[in-house]
């Protein structure tokens, strides 16, 4: 079982804690406000009321033993910087730090953050991509401008196989899964798979290539 440390139990911290719980992880949460911890007490391994800008507090947590540490401190960027820096100094394996702006991300990386979390920006981008196209129904951004999108296959693909369409050679896309009649997505690995008129498919590729087949 993987274990995680979440520092800062605002809205994002709570959502993250709940998501990790659903994935059967062991979680320790910390916040200066005891009221923010009450609703997670039944399902976290440990909850602490503490000021994590104090390095002696962090030392008491054995941060190197966690698979990852999440710094989700709200409206206190200086504190976020200090905590990120101290976690890395204490040997944290991976540190995720929450940022609202690119400038904040720049300084957090300098302090050792391995990954930057942009909750509001990522949510806004996902909604914008989905709502700006009638044929894109979900969107997950990846590195280097790539994404996984749930799309409605173009009419000209219907009844033709992945190989016949030339999904990879012609469109630079990879088919991951397909779904029909609101059933769960099921993986598609066969290049002989034929597109159907009543399905959505998950494709992986650059957003430019995905937009070419959905406009």
Mean pLDDT across 127-135: 86
Q: How sure is the predictor about 215, in pLDDT bands with cuts at 50, 70 and 90?
A: confident
* Helix orientation angle between 102-110 and 77-89, rounded to the nearest 10 degrees: 30
Mean per-residue pLDDT for 45-53?
96
Whether residue 142 contacts residue 148, with contact meaning beta carbons closer than 8 Å, is answered with yes
Q: Per residue in 111-130, pLDDT tens?
A: 999 999 998 888 888 888 88
- Among 141, 131, 119, residue whose Cα is nearest residue 204: 141
**pTM metric for this prediction:** 0.76
Say which CATH class 122-214 falls into.
Answer: alpha beta
How confident is the model at residue 193, as a pLDDT?
93
Answer for the pair 113, 96: CB distance below 8 angstroms, yes or no.
yes
Query: What's the pLDDT at 42?
Result: 92
pLDDT digits (tens, 9 = 90+) for 69-98: 999 997 789 999 999 999 999 999 999 999
Query: Do residues 110 and 88 lie in contact, with contact meaning Cβ atoms separated by under 8 Å?
Result: no
Q: What are the residues whose beta carbons fall under 8 Å from the beta carbon of 169, sequence distance 6 or more?
A: none
Q: What was the pLDDT predicted at 149?
A: 94
Quick one: pLDDT at residue 15?
93
Q: What homologous superfamily is domain 3-117 in, according to CATH? A: NAD(P)-binding Rossmann-like Domain (3.40.50.720)
Domains 3-117 and 122-214 share a fold: no
**CA–CA separation, 136 and 118 (whole Å):** 22
pLDDT of 162-203, one tens digit each? 999 999 999 999 999 998 776 778 888 888 999 988 899 999
pLDDT of residue 86: 97
* Residue 144, pLDDT above cutoff 80: no
| Domain boundaries, given as residue ranges, for the chain | 3-117, 122-214
Task: State what percent of residues in the chain have pLDDT above 70.
Answer: 99
Q: How large is the average pLDDT for residues 32-47?
A: 94
pLDDT for res 124: 87
**pLDDT averaged over the chain?**
92
DSSP output for the chain: --EEEEE--SHHHHHHHHHHHHTT-EEEEEES-GGGGGGGGGG-SEEEE--TTSHHHHHTTTGGGSSEEEE---S-HHHHHHHHHHHHHTT-S-EEEE-SSHHHHHHHHHTT-SEEE-HHHHHHHHHHHHHT-SSEEEEEE-GGGEEEEEEPPPGGGBT-BHHHHTTTTTT--EEEEEEETTPPPEE---TT-BB-TTEEEEEEEEHHHHHHHH-
Bridge partners (DSSP) of residue 200 are 179
Percent of the chain with pLDDT over 90: 74
């Amino acid at each position: 079982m993987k274990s995680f440390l979440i520092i800062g139990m605002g809205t994002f911290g709570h959502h993250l804690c709940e998501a990790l719980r659903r994935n059967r992880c062991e979680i320790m949460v910390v916040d200066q406000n005891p009221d923010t911890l009450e609703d997670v007490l039944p399902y976290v391994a440990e909850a602490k009321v503490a000021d994590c800008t104090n390095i002696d507090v962090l030392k008491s947590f054995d941060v190197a033993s966690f698979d990852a540490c999440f710094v989700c401190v709200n409206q206190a960027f200086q504190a976020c910087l200090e905590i990120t820096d101290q976690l890395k100094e204490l040997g944290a394996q991976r540190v995720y730090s929450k940022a609202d702006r690119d400038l904040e991300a720049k300084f957090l990386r300098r302090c050792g953050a391995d990954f930057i979390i942009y909750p509001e920006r990522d949510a806004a981008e996902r909604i914008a991509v989905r709502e700006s196209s009638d044929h894109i129904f979900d969107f997950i951004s990846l590195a280097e401008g790539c994404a996984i999108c749930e799309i409605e296959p173009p009419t000209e693909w219907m009844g033709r196989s992945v190989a016949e369409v030339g999904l990879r050679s012609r469109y630079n896309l990879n088919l991951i899964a397909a779904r029909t009649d609101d059933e769960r997505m099921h993986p598609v690995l066969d290049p002989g798979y034929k597109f159907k008129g009543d399905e959505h498919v998950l494709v992986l590729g650059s957003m430019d290539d995905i937009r070419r087949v959905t406009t």
